[in-house]
Amino acid sequence: MLRRLSDLMVDGGTEWTVRDPAIPPLRTHSTMFALEEQEQLSVTQLAALLRQSHPLVLQWVGALEKRGLVVRQRDPDDRRRTILRLTDSGIAAMPMIHRTRAVNERVSRQLMRELGEDLWDRLRQLEGLLAERPHVARMADAVETIGKEEA
């Protein structure tokens, strides 16, 4: 259900960004924000920072490269590494991307008010609980508890 809800929101945001071809796809905005903040990152660093798979990050980078917003360069110190940077066009696009983020956040907050509770805060709490004790450990505990209940 969370994936479906996320897809509905991201797809809606993407539909909105298509109205202005200068704004890159919504799914790539986190890459742009990370590169704006860090100035340069390797693909591996970016994937770790975004907590996304390396292949998915490469897809996003490819989409941004096609638009001329991001450039890849070989690390001169380690030719195996690829360094990512925003281009001048990428830097120039950031105000529009920040505005899109603000609009998207306002809509999300309004949805949370309509629910009567800030779901984002609750999801952050859930993420924190899973960071403290991973889901797999909780499943192991549940198996043990079920085993005791069945005995």
User: Which two tokens mark 25?
Assistant: 């796809």
Q: What is the pTM of this model?
A: 0.75
pLDDT (tens digit per residue) in 2-28: 888 888 888 888 887 778 777 888 889
Q: Where are the alpha helices (DSSP H) in the chain?
A: 2-17, 29-38, 43-50, 54-66, 88-115, 119-132, 135-150
Domains annotated for the chain, with CATH where assigned, are: 2-116 (1.10.10.10), 118-151 (no CATH)
**Chain segment 86-120, per-residue pLDDT in tens:** 999 999 999 999 998 898 888 888 888 888 877 77
